[in-house]
Copies of this chain bind each other. A is one copy, B any other.
Amino acid sequence: MIRRPTLAVVAEAAGVSLKTASRVLNREPNVADATRERVLDAATSLGFRRNAVAADLARGGFSRLVGFITGDLANEFYSALASGIERELREHGLQLLTASSDEDPEREGSLTGELLERRVGALIVTPAGADHSALRGEIAAGLTVVVVDRPAAGMDVDTVVIDNRGGTRAAVDHLLAHGHRRIAFVGDAPHLWTYQERSAEFLAAMQDAGVPDAERWLRSGAHDAAAARDLVVELLAAPEPPTAVLAANNRATVGTLQALRDASGGDQVAVVGFDDFELADLLGITVVAYDAVEMGRRAAELAVARSADRDRPVELVVLPTRVVPRGSGERRPR
């Protein structure tokens, strides 16, 4: 285990002071070309590599790391976010530190702590719980926090979300335009902000279309595909079965498709899913799509901007969605 050369060693080898070596390696001006080259030569021949840990400590304040606390890295939505975040950070010479909360508020809290110990310059969070008192204190202490996917209740921070209401409205209108009236909404946990937004807009759109009591076809609890399937099976067996289903997220879509595959006449039921997925094209599933990578990129952008200017106004970025027709959403009721 060889010891890495330090700046001091490089400086000595080049016959200059530590500070001059530091200037060269940080590309600072006011160094004679000859000196610069001597230092550079010494550095490469010694295999010097700067120590970012020491540099960050010396500089004081924050490190050049940004933390990302996500619900579940293995979920394709969150990994798309991470990908966009990482790409944008890199442009600014920042590195990404990721951590999974497993959607557990308590874990989210302890992860926040660990990342803060690392003195991250900013924290990008997909809030799991409702209580962010810990974070609030940190923000007061100067921490940059950006929230993605869902707003953090009661916190005045930069936020990036998609246009949940617009997407839902467009999906419902799409189905209405194809002649459907009995449209079901299959959503996940009622306490999620995205559920609330989407379900509320669903009801509003139905009401605007003159369909009374749309609550009949409103279901929640589809936190996974199996639960969604059960909900759809039950809907189909009810007195007034829906002729179309709006699945409120990608897991709900999978469950819906499973239920329809198994049901007699299931292939007659129209389906629109929220969230695009790779095989939707192959399966011919109409979806409400948006760009998750861009979402991450924008979040990172906001984090960088606020770190540079703590006094800028808090921003709320709402990304557009669009309906992508692929067949399943264009079936007409019989």
Contact = CB atoms under 8 A, between A and B. Distances in A.
Contact of A254 (B50, B96, B279, B310): B279
A140 interface: yes
Q: Which of A47, A54, A73, A96 has the most CB of B within 10 A?
A: A73
A213 to B, nearest CB: 32
A110 B75 CA distance: 28
A197 to B, nearest CB: 25
Nearest to A95: B97
A96 B97 contact: yes
A43 interface: no
Interface string A275-315: 00111001100000000010000000000000000100000
A261 interface: yes
Contact of A73 (B53, B72, B82, B279): B82
B258 A282 contact: yes
Contacts of A142: 1-2
Contact of A118 (B95, B115, B282): B95
28 contacts: A1-B141, A1-B142, A2-B140, A2-B141, A2-B142, A47-B137, A49-B117, A53-B63, A53-B119, A57-B57, A73-B79, A74-B76, A74-B80, A74-B83, A75-B79, A76-B79, A78-B79, A86-B98, A86-B99, A86-B100, A90-B99, A95-B114, A96-B99, A97-B97, A254-B282, A258-B282, A279-B279, A279-B283
